Amino acid sequence: MSPTQLLHRWVELFNQADADALASLYHEDAVNFQVNFKPIEGKEAIRQKFREEFATAEMVCIIEQILESGEWGILEWKDPLGLRGCGFFHIEDGKIRYQRGYWDMLSFLRQHKLPLPTE
C-alpha cells in the first residue's frame, strides 16, 4: 500500500472511530507523536490512546490534501468545527512506523466543551 492509499484508509478508519483497525495500520514498535502529548510508543499503546480519544469526543477528519514523498505521507486536514492540522507519516512495508501531528489542543478542547488545562 502506498503512503497515499494508507492515509486514505487511516482517515476512513479514524472517522469510524475504529481504534483496533487503526492500530492494525501501525508497526509493533511504531511511535505516534502528537505535539501536544508525549510520544506514544508501540502499537498497543497507540490503540489504547485512540480508544481513549474516541471515548472523549466525536472527531471527524476531512482531508484537505495528501502529499507523498518516498516513504512519507503528509495529511493536511480539517474538522467540521473548524479545527485544522497536519500529520506526517513515515510508512515502511505498508505500515506506519512513525507519525507526528500538529494541531491546536486548546481550540479542540473549547470546541468540544472539554475541561481546559489548569497549569
pLDDT band at residue 106, thresholds of 50, 70 and 90?
A: confident
Q: b/e string for 88-114 if b means 16 or more Cβ within 10 A? A: ebbbeeebbebbebebeeeebbeeeee
Non-local (6+) Cβ contacts of 19 within 8 A are: 47, 48, 50, 51, 54
- What are the tens digits of pLDDT across the range 56-65? 999 999 999 9
Contact 28, 93 (CB under 8 A): no
Q: Domains in the chain, ordered, with CATH?
A: 3-111 (3.10.450.50)
Task: Indicate the burial class of 43 (C-beta count within 10 angstroms; 0-12, 13-18, 19 or more).
Answer: buried
| Average pLDDT rounded to a whole number, residues 88-104 | 96
pLDDT in the model for residue 84 = 96
- What are the tens digits of pLDDT across the range 11-50? 999 999 999 999 999 999 999 999 988 999 999 999 999 9
